[in-house]
Chain A
Amino acid sequence: MLDVARAAVDAARAAGAGFADARVVAIESESLTVRNQEMEGIDRSSSQGLGIRVLLDGYWGFAATARLGEGEIHRTAELATRIAKAASRLPREPVTLAAVEPATGRYQTPMQQDPFTVPLEEKIALLMEATRRVQAVEGVTFAEGGIDLFRSRSWFASSEGSAIEQTIVHSGAGIDATAIGDGEMQRRSYPNAFRGHIAAAGWEHIAKLGLVEEAERTGTQAVELLSAHECPSEVTTLVLDSGQVELQIHESIGHAVELDRVLGMEEAYAGSSFVTPDDRGSLRFASALVSITADATLPGGLGTFGWDDEGVPAQRFPVIENGMFENFISSRETASVLGLPSTGAMRADGWQSLPLVRMTNISIEPREGTLADIIGDTKDGVFMATNRSWSIDDRRMNFQFGCEIAWRIRDGKLTQMYRNPNYTGITPEFWGRCDAVGGREDWTLWGTPNCGKGQPTQTARVGHGCAPARFRDVQVGVRA
């Protein structure tokens, strides 16, 4: 398939492109869902095609096709070039690309057991047993479990001489319990909401999740939530588990430091950012306890790869260091605007999509102590766990996030359970009030496989390494 990508690049150059790159991508996925001891579905999908990106006189063009015959490759390359020509209808500063050394090589997600080779019977049996135990809890209305597997093989070539082959494998699974009664519906998930915990790994990741072992607790908490008190509305100390810190980082930090958003390239749809190009090294984004790292080399992360979709090698660099904003996540084009090298974050969700600046693994650096230590050190406050709802404004400032469950913290102990907890804040104020970040013991590298951005909308798979954290003076319990 590398030959197809090279042929596409050659065809684009022959059609007049000054620069071209091409990706042949073949994606396979397998998804199983069990609900109340019935198969909701087993779905196996595959998609393969070619995407060609060209620069002509400083204007971009992109075209993609599922047809890989020679004639179609040429037609698609010519169309990409024609699209670039059409873009010059509105004059602009020509696009320039930050320099990158042409790369040649292969990358494969390290794994012990190819999840696609595990018999379906074994996968079904795991989900059936885990959900049987959830459903055995009296009061559980629905017990659901799912397994999701993903494999992407890509072949990248560029007119600068790059030739890269990569195979990325992601595996994940989760269970959830739903209890319905008295006009309420409550859900608990394990290990995380929205299909569980997904990682760049093989079946060994799913085997270690402990779905069966955690099933009863998951069901019990869903039922208990039905009769729990509503989370009170107050300004208080908020402790978040690492799963909710994942969402907090994703929405209020990860998207805010995407350089394409900062430069206005997503203005009309996903929005822009409160962070400006001049803020590097001068914006206090968070308290001194907060250091955020982008790391596309992190084992197990959904944002881990060998090279991004521009052939830029995977990198690790600080985004926020001791509370100060340091670096954007960027592409060759956006980095060039600031006169910087690309940080290697340009990714597409398939052959049919134009690469965009996407998060890699955006993680909080662990500090000290466990979740229990943080709670033990809190006199009064609310502990919230597991994301349920998220909303943030178009500049990533005002957010309101909901969680599945919460407890009152009194004198260092979890006491009363609360249902329907949520909290709201303004991004730099909220992060500025962070006064505790947990240590390595409770730090988890979560996967976010559903990050939407771009037009046509793309769904990126990104990672967030997260520890529990504490925030002071937060408005919780927002009601209509």
Chain B
Amino acid sequence: MPGTIGPDQVRRVADAALGIGGADGVEVLFMHSWGGLTRFASSAIHQSTWSEDTDIRVRVVKDGRIGVASANGFTPEESRAAAESAREIAGVAAPDPLFPGLAPPAPIEATDRLDEAIASASPEQRAETVADVVGRCEGLEAAGAYETSAMEMAVANSEGQFAWAPWTLASLSAVAKSQGGGTGFAETFATTLGDVDASGVGERAARKARSSDEPRDLDPGAYTVVLEPAAVSTLVGFMAFIGFGGRALLEGRSCLSGKNGQRVAAPTVSIYDDATSPLTIGSPFDFEGVPRRRVELIREGIFLDGVYDLRTAKQTGKEPTGHALPAPNPEGPFPLNLFMEPGDATLEEMIAATERGVLVTRFHYSNIVHEVESTITGMTRDGTFAIEDGEIAHPIKNLRFTQSILEALTNTTMIGRETELASEFFFSSSRVPALRIEGFHFTGRSDH
């Protein structure tokens, strides 16, 4: 298995691009990723993959014009070729009057997020972990995936900034399926291999599947819901898309535009972004090389502010918060390490406090209905239960929700004391608790 290329060699690769000449500024974003994924279905491993790749992405500034080119390579020659291509593009591009300049030199807080055991995990280890999950699903069909991923990322620019960081992530998910139509989902994300609790994932998925046999119909309508963390991560994750980005805020596209200082959620709800926390994954600097800062987004229900890259910081007169995406980036800055602060309730207490409601394990295929109203739609999946008189009464067929996220956060009445990490893709994550929300809108149902 490969290891990190390391900052010294990465710097040599980047220097080949930085030294091309004929440019007013050059930035190199270098990403090197490798890892394996073992996928299982019908309680057997059916797809197993491994890959290693790089991306050398070069941004060249010339007379206020910008060009970006990228290639996957490992050598100074390939880096230089990408830079020359970017310079050629910059030579014909229209001027960019809003270009804020490249990131100035700034120290990057060192993080220790490389777990050698994850970085070098073998196919045999992944298969053994999957076998553990499947073994906990006796009498059921188990499906899922176990991925061990490693990444090193660096940003170097002609202003003198150089930042490098590696990190790893192991993720394990499982869906167990019973003969009676019950399905159960569980997942875990771990930053050290030793923290991957395969038995726990298998047992939780199996327990849910067994208890969701023979689901019944429930009429759509407004219900009190208890959302487990995987479902909450969908709501919070969509806020990254439609709420917290500085460019969306600036342009009036965000559901939070113009609401700074206003109440947008229940007083118990606080959401922040913090790449520096040891409880998350990823890089301590953004894709422009700016150090990531902790940003308070919603504090005790009040929207404070969003996240900013160099461009939107210049446009708004604010400080960049270290949330740029790779150039070119028409979407603007984006929070990749969201946290919702935990409360003091257990899941059992939330259920006990609910006279009539729905317990949701996770959502499926959610999408935006109305950005400015923060309305999304999606389906429940793999463990949806009716709550009656403070107890889980019976499994129910999956429901479609159509719901404003801000309204849901405003109607949040209880917050779980434990948080779980969820990651939709390798660069982003959210760590969130379970929530109890009143008046959650289910607008349809499915047949299973």
Contact = CB atoms under 8 A, between A and B. Distances in A.
Contacts of B177: 267
B379 A48 contact: no
Contacts of B72: 46-49, 66
Contacts of A62: 47-50
Given A90-B43, A394-B365, A83 B50 contact: yes
A120 B93 contact: yes
A392 B379 CA distance: 7
Contacts of B89: 42, 44, 120
B51 A185 contact: no
Contacts of A456: 37, 49, 147
Contacts of B48: 60-62, 83-84, 86-87
B333 interface: no
B279 to A, nearest CB: 24
B249 interface: no
A40 interface: yes
Interface string B356-382: 000000001111111111010111010
B379 A39 contact: no
A83 B54 contact: no
Interface stretch (A288-296, A338-346, A418-426): A418-426
Interface in B239-265: 251-253
B193 interface: no
Interface string A393-434: 111011010100000000000000000101010100000000
Interface in A75-105: 79-80, 82-87, 89-92
Nearest to B97: A38
Most central of B67, B123, B329, B368 by chain A CB within 10 Å: B123
Contacts of B377: 389, 391, 400, 478
A39 B446 contact: no
Interface residues of A, number: 82
A60 B46 contact: yes
A382 B185 CA distance: 39
A45 interface: yes
A63 B366 CA distance: 32
Contacts of B134: 90
A471 interface: no
B241 to A, nearest CB: 13
A180 B252 contact: yes
A64 B50 contact: yes
B364 to A, nearest CB: 5
A478 B364 contact: no
B42 A92 contact: yes
Given A62-B49, A89-B124, A92-B44, A393 B36 contact: no
B52 A480 contact: no
Interface stretch (B10-18, B285-293, B395-403): B395-403
B324 interface: no
B411 to A, nearest CB: 12
The DSSP consensus for interface residues of chain B is: strand
B92 A121 contact: yes
B94 interface: yes
A43 B328 contact: yes
Given A62-B48, A183-B372, A185-B371, A90 B40 contact: yes
A66 B127 contact: no
Contacts of A457: 425
Interface string B13-53: 00000000000000000000000111111111111111111
Contacts of A393: 364-365, 379, 381, 398, 400, 446, 448
A358 to B, nearest CB: 14
Contacts of B366: 391
B402 A480 contact: yes
A190 B135 CA distance: 52
A317 interface: no
A43 B53 CA distance: 19
Interface in B73-98: 73-74, 85-86, 89, 92-98
A135 B128 CA distance: 59
B208 interface: no
B68 A44 contact: yes
Interface in B321-357: 327-330
A480 B50 contact: no
Given A39-B66, A268-B173, A480-B441, A67 B96 contact: no
A258 to B, nearest CB: 14
Q: How large is the interface on B (under 10, 10 to 19, 20 to 34, 35 or more residues)?
A: 35 or more
Interface string A252-283: 00000000000011111101001000000000
B436 to A, nearest CB: 19
B141 interface: yes
A142 interface: yes
A252 B263 CA distance: 40
Nearest to A34: B94
A86 B126 contact: yes
A476 to B, nearest CB: 12
Contact of B446 (A42, A185, A395, A402): A395
B103 interface: no
Contacts of B143: 264, 267-268
A192 interface: no
Contact of B369 (A60, A128, A271, A402): A402
A82 B94 contact: no
B329 A41 contact: yes
A92 B402 contact: no
Nearest to A419: B370
Nearest to B381: A394
Interface string B113-126: 00000000011101
A208 interface: no
A236 interface: no
A413 to B, nearest CB: 28
Interface in A25-53: 33-35, 38-49, 51
A89 B135 CA distance: 12
Contacts of B55: 47
A73 B72 CA distance: 17
A184 interface: yes
B178 interface: no
B150 to A, nearest CB: 14
B216 interface: no
Nearest to B404: A480
A124 interface: yes
B383 interface: no
A480 B364 contact: no
A42 B330 contact: no
Interface string B218-241: 000000000000000000000000
Nearest to B402: A480
A357 to B, nearest CB: 12
B385 to A, nearest CB: 17
Interface in A138-192: 141-142, 144, 178, 180, 183-185
Contacts of A45: 69-71
A455 interface: yes
Interface in A373-397: 389-395, 397
Given A124-B92, A268-B174, A398-B379, A59 B45 contact: yes
Given A62-B50, A264-B42, A271 B372 contact: no
Contacts of A121: 92
Given A65-B51, A92-B42, A391 B328 contact: no
A34 B66 CA distance: 13
Interface of B: 36-55, 65-74, 85-86, 89, 92-98, 122-124, 126-128, 130-131, 134, 141, 143-145, 147, 173-175, 177, 185, 251-253, 327-330, 364-373, 375, 377-379, 381, 398, 400, 402-404, 407, 425, 441, 443-448
For the complex of A and B, 6 pairs with smallest distance between CB atoms: A41-B328, A92-B44, A86-B123, A268-B143, A89-B127, A398-B446
Given A43-B327, A426-B447, 18 more contacts: A44-B67, A44-B69, A46-B70, A47-B53, A48-B72, A66-B54, A89-B45, A120-B92, A120-B93, A141-B251, A264-B42, A352-B51, A391-B366, A394-B364, A395-B447, A395-B448, A398-B398, A456-B147
